[in-house]
Structure 1
Amino acid sequence: MHVVTTPTGQIGRQVVEGLLRAGEPVRVIVRDPSGLSAEVRERVEVVRGSHRELDACMEAFAGADTLFWVVPPTPRADSVVGYYEDSTRAACRAIGARGVKRVVTVSTAGHGIETNAGHLSASLAKDRMIEETGVSFRALQATAFMENLLWQTEAIRHQGAFFWPQPADRVLPVVATRDIAAKATELLLNASWDGRGGVPVVSPDALTPDGMARVVSEVLERPVGYRQLSLDAYREAMIGHGASEAWAQGLVDMAVAQNDGAYDEHHRTAVPSPTGFRQWCEEVLRPAFLA
């Protein structure tokens, strides 16, 4: 039995689909099962609740061989590291109590980010908690998501640009969530591994934000530019969209680490995943933009 958290999220949904295509039994933890497609609801076991709740984890992990673990964003949290740790505490108790054999989690690529790197440091803190249970464990070390650009379709449409706090001329490693989900599914289906370790997941590209803007312009067949936000402007924009002060500062600290080259070594040395940025723009961004 495979347990999947965040089954309606960008990555969790694709992991559920991959496991079902392989004919595997799947159990999901979800607050609102109506967020699952009718086909998925018919084929999975549903534990209704939050995976922050011990009772839900104990129920879901009973008889489970593998667990796919994701901490979903909660922009109103009053502590980034505290939120990641609180979100993982119940799972760690249930992993040991229920004898889960292997855990795969979405984590982060990067070096030198153990502290003061916002959400990157928080993700590593979550990984350490899972490792300490003694379960066989793999952390998918992902760079920034290509899907982050989907939040900017209206800016692209009305302002002809997208906005991030990264330098226009510095490579920003990104990866498609489909490749993260595919690697997670591969690991969940493989019963031969044990121990603990990280698995980098990076794209084959080495594009700067300016380079991404050129690709986006070509795919959307309209001029699209890139404009760098100052860190202060980025922080205020996140707060304006409903983030807490702590969450917004965590995003700023993450951006600083990215700008300082946190991802560079993994991006240079890891075996690249299949999806390039242009392919993602053609298959994901363009349909979203046109819709």
Structure 2
Amino acid sequence: MFAIVGAAGKVGFATSQALREAGKPVRAILRDASKAAKLREIGCEISVADLQDPKALAEVIGSADTVQVILPPAPQLKDTAGQMRQAIESLATALEEARPQRVLAVSDYGAHITDDIGMPTMCRDFETRLSKVPGKKVFLRSAEHMQGWGRAIPAAKESGILPSFHDPVDMLFPTISAPDLGLIAANILLRPAAAEDVEIIHAEGPRRYSANDAAAALSELLGRTIRVEAVPRSQWKEAFERVMSSTLAELLIKANDAQNKGGVVDVESDLSKVHYGKTELIDALRPLVEFYLLR
């Protein structure tokens, strides 16, 4: 049995679907039962539990041999960072009680950095805590999701300007389509466990892109010229806090500062294992543009 915590998300659903296509039993663990329909359609067993309730989580993980976990932020909570730290402890406590043979945790590029760089540092804490859990662990460090550009599509469609927190806008950075990440996770879970107790794998797309590349892709998809503009650093806090809590904004501001230095939010070393998705940026953005064009 494969238990997927957060199976309703883009990554979790892609993992669940790939495992089901391989004929494997999947227990989809959700916070919201209303999101179960698609998972039930592909043959998943459905369980519901709150990430902040370690006893309930341990019960629904049950006797699953393998568990995939992810650390989702809650953008609207006043203390998103505090909630994420509680979720780390809750997930670890549940896993210690359930004792699966293997755990795959979705982490972040830059989780090896010892300085505080925001969201990657939160994932570093996640890895550190889960390292104490018995059994085999895989830390799948993900590049930034291509779908993150989707939030800027309405503004680009309206004004012809794509706002970017990546600066310089011609700098290439690692990014991946979220469903590709889920598929990579499934492929890892379908192979025998590695000999080492902790395996670190990085995942990114088929090539690296810049903010200029994102604007070019949107220009083609929207049928109009889209020009990228870097958001001034002095405006970041206000821009982030329009749509999220101040603590999550702080995590993302630190992460973007590190990203913009180049080479920091990246694979750990030249010897690191890297798996590559197949989806190009324009193909990841295509369904998002179609969604906004229909609105």
TM-score normalized with structure 2 length:
0.89
1:177-225 CA distance string (max 9 Å, x none):
1221011111222233242121111122232211221222123321111
Aligned residue in 2 for 1:273: 277
Amino acid in structure 1 at the alignment position of 2:153 = T
Amino acid in structure 2 at the alignment position of 1:225 = R
Bigger CA drift: 230-239 or 185-194?
185-194
CA distance in 2, matches of 1:184, 1:42: 18
Q: Is the 8 A contact 1:179 1:275 kept in 2?
A: yes
Q: 5+ residue gaps in structure 1?
A: none
Bigger CA drift: 179-188 or 261-270?
261-270
Number of matched pairs? 289
CA distance in 1, matches of 2:146, 2:115: 25
Amino acid in structure 2 at the alignment position of 1:288 = F
Q: Is the 8 A contact 2:156 2:162 kept in 1?
A: yes
CA distance in 2, matches of 1:70, 1:51: 10
Q: Against the structure 1 CA distance between its residues 267 and 147, is the aligned structure 2 distance closer, same or farther, given a 3 Å change threshold?
A: farther
CA distance in 2, matches of 1:44, 1:140: 23
CA distance in 2, matches of 1:144, 1:259: 13
Is 1:290 the equivalent of 2:293? Answer: yes
Bigger CA drift: 195-204 or 88-97?
88-97
Aligned residue in 2 for 1:236: 238
Amino acid in structure 2 at the alignment position of 1:72 = P
Aligned residue in 1 for 2:25: 25
Aligned residue in 2 for 1:160: 160
Bigger CA drift: 82-91 or 261-270?
261-270
Amino acid in structure 2 at the alignment position of 1:127 = E
Q: 5+ residue gaps in structure 2?
A: none
Aligned residue in 1 for 2:35: 35
Residue 228 of structure 1 deviates from its aligned partner by 0.7
CA distance in 1, matches of 2:278, 2:290: 20
1:188-207 paired onto structure 2 within 5 Å: 188-194=189-195, 195-207=197-209
TM-score normalized with structure 1 length:
0.90
CA distance in 2, matches of 1:250, 1:17: 31
Is 1:89 the equivalent of 2:89? Answer: yes
Bigger CA drift: 44-53 or 101-110?
44-53
CA distance in 1, matches of 2:111, 2:4: 28
Q: Is the 8 A contact 2:73 2:84 kept in 1?
A: no
1:240-278 CA distance string (max 9 Å, x none):
12x222211111001011111223456987453222223
Bigger CA drift: 89-98 or 39-48?
39-48
Which portions of structure 1, spanning 4 or more consecutive aligned residues, are displaced by more than 6 angstroms? none
CA distance in 1, matches of 2:112, 2:24: 38
Q: Is the 8 A contact 1:80 1:119 kept in 2?
A: no
Q: Is the 8 A contact 2:26 2:44 kept in 1?
A: yes
CA distance in 2, matches of 1:103, 1:62: 14
Residue 230 of structure 1 deviates from its aligned partner by 2.0
Aligned residue in 2 for 1:226: 228
